Amino acid sequence: MSTLYAVVLRSELLLLLLASVPVFLGVGIRLVAGNVCRALIENRGAEPPAGA
């Protein structure tokens, strides 16, 4: 029984790891995009974005 529990625990940890990868990627991409947009706006003389 203990080996079965260990296998289930390991597979759950792997699933959690796989599920967290896209979340971390999404947050990282959002942070990078935000920093790039902010840098572009500052370089253009702090003009408001076209969409606003």
Tens of pLDDT along the chain (52 residues) come to: 689 889 899 999 999 999 999 999 999 999 999 999 888 888 876 556 566 5
Q: How far apart are CA 19 and CA 13, in angstroms?
A: 10
The answer to whether the CB of 41 falls within 8 A of the CB of 47 is yes
Q: How far apart are CA 37 and CA 9, in angstroms?
A: 42
Question: CA 49, 41, 35: angle at the middle one, nearest 5?
Answer: 110
0.95 exceeded by pTM: no
Provide the 8-state DSSP code for 1. Answer: -
